[in-house]
Amino acid sequence: MTAIAVEDSQIVGAITVWRPSVQDRYSIVEPMNVLPTHRGRGIGVRLWRFIEAHSSERGDRGLRVWGIDGNRGASHFYGSTLKLQPVGVGTFWIGQHREAATEYRQDFARDGETQRPFDANP
Ligand SMILES: CC(C)(COP(=O)(O)OP(=O)(O)OC[C@H]1O[C@@H](n2cnc3c(N)ncnc32)[C@H](O)[C@@H]1OP(=O)(O)O)[C@@H](O)C(=O)NCCC(=O)NCCS
């Protein structure tokens, strides 16, 4: 599913979520973008919250997303603004070009369950 943000009849942001084929798994967010002229105004958070509500209602376990570490804006957005948990590291590559990346995760709280705090140094 793709959700878009519209302002004055112009698409200013978009987010796509790939839902799992079975319930109780994570959805993957890829990609999400906000127009450069419209960044830093809360559109990204609102797009994320919209997808979060949709996936949660559909019974997904949570959301996962990858961010390239060199993309400081994305790292800040996922790690600090949304406070997602960093849960893995990996590499993106195109041809010979490689970029270190981090996987972030958001778990949805479910009835009778409490969220365990993430321990970065277990
Ligand atoms: C990352 C992105 C989707 C965030 O969307 P946004 O609408 O700018 O985010 P919001 O306004 O809702 O949230 C603002 C937060 O994002 C941070 N941010 C990230 N990139 C930013 C940018 N280019 N300009 C302004 N703020 C940015 C701000 O520091 C702010 O953090 P704070 O609230 O902790 O101070 C958007 O900046 C973007 O499209 N970036 C380029 C594409 C990209 O990196 N996509 C994700 C790759 S996986």
Could you read off the pLDDT of 91-113 as tens digits, one per residue? 999 999 999 999 999 999 876 56
For ligand 1, whether the C-beta of 10 sits within 6 Å is: no
Is the pTM for the entire model greater than 0.85? yes
Tell me, yes or no, whether 53 lies in a domain: yes
Tell me, yes or no, whether 114 lies in a domain: no
For ligand 1, whether the C-beta of 7 sits within 6 Å is: no
Tell me, yes or no, whether 30 lies in a domain: yes
Which atom of ligand 1 is found nearest the CA of 33?
A: 39
Distance CA 83, CA 116 (A): 14
Distance 91 CA to ligand 1 centre (A): 21
Could you read off the pLDDT of 52-86 as tens digits, one per residue? 999 999 989 999 999 999 999 999 999 999 999 99
For ligand 1, whether the C-beta of 70 sits within 6 Å is: no
For ligand 1, whether the C-beta of 81 sits within 6 Å is: yes
Q: Which domain holds residue 24?
A: 2-107
Q: What is the CATH number of the domain that holds 24?
A: 3.40.630.30
How many domains does the chain divide into? Answer: 1
